[in-house]
Structure 1
Amino acid sequence: MTAQAARSTEQRVADTVRRLEEDVDAWVATASADGEPCMVPLSFLWDGATLLFSTAVNNPTARNLAANGRARVGVGPTRDVVLIECAVQTVPAGDLTDGTKDAFAEKTGFRPGKGYVYFRMTPLWIQAWREANELAGRDLPELTPPR
């Protein structure tokens, strides 16, 4: 496979936003208190600043997210990856507006019910690259809030 020319930062940001708006699923990686890794696919909603996920309240991913408040999220295929380090906030369903729950259900095809909890993930950093020629400049601070 011949590598494509490296994208400009502007194009990489635009492509990343498109992926966050259009993709439905991501890999979510967490760790337990004793360091046991866990990685699962979950559907998400991007609101322009945060990712919203939902999963069963008693599964390992939910326990890890609630306990650690951190996750790493991978969106896209390995040759067009968006990698996001996130701070995580647990959000009970009752704290979300009906509009947000409807938007989540419309995008993901899944309406979480009893026994599920939502997690809002705020990007701490976002990286995007396709090939080795895009490793330099893969950080996209334009898409993360100031710290």
Structure 2
Amino acid sequence: MSVTGTERGVAPPPVRDLAQRKADVLEKLATDRHAWLATGGASGAHLIPLACVWDGTHLVMATHDRHRTVRNLRAQGLSRAALGNPADVVLIDGLVEIVPAKDAPADASALLAELPVNPSRVPGCVYLYLTPRRVLAWRHRGEIPGRTVMKDGRWLA
């Protein structure tokens, strides 16, 4: 059984205000290179780890066009991406656009080259552009009440 900081007599860190949470989320998006992407389909929920990059507007990932993730997204474009760990959670809900390599923005080639499964080098792969509609962020129980930092595609701070 896991012991939390308060059970050990250690107080959790102070609750971050909305502006600090947004700044921390943007930093995580700029530096984290892996996310868990959840989709749903006829066979149920599907969760996979994918390499990712943030282009300032979208969380961009890539995978094989034949995988269940892409089939699920073609049927239902909504998904959830998770970054971080249980002590620093970022959840991103939004729509995913499936983009063939030939249709990727030309000015994004250097950024997209960071993806290990890159459609420009790996035949049969596509880019997944997740546009955030809602972003949640928290580090401990005390931050859960104010965890929404983006709603309806707009930052709240």
Question: Fold match, TM over 0.5?
Answer: yes
**Contact 1:126 1:143 (8 Å CA) reproduced:** no
RMSD: 1.8
Of structures 1 and 2, the one with the larger relative CO (CA 8 A, separation 6+) is 1
Matched, 1:76 2:52: no
TM-score, L = length of structure 1: 0.90
C-alpha distance 142-36 of structure 1, shift in aligned 2 (>3 A): closer
Q: Which protein is bigger by CA-based radius of gyration?
A: 2
Give 2:141's match in structure 1, choosing from 126, 132, 136.
132
- Structure showing the higher helix proportion among its residues: 1
Task: Compute the displacement of 1:109 (Å).
Answer: 4.1
Distance 1:54 1:109, change over 3 A: closer
Q: Which runs of 4+ in 1 moved over 4 A?
A: none
Segments of 5+ residues of structure 1 without an aligned counterpart are none
Which structure shows the higher strand fraction?
2
What residue is the counterpart of 2:118 in the other structure? 111
Q: Is 1:30 aligned to residue 22 of structure 2?
A: no
Which residue pairs with 1:53 in the alignment? 61
Aligned 8 A contact 2:117 2:125 in 1: no
> Structure 2 unaligned runs (5+)?
none
Q: How many percent identity over aligned positions?
A: 35
**Distance in 2 separating the partners of 1:145 and 1:101:** 27
Deviation at 1:145, TM superposition (A): 3.8
Number of residue pairs matched by the alignment: 144
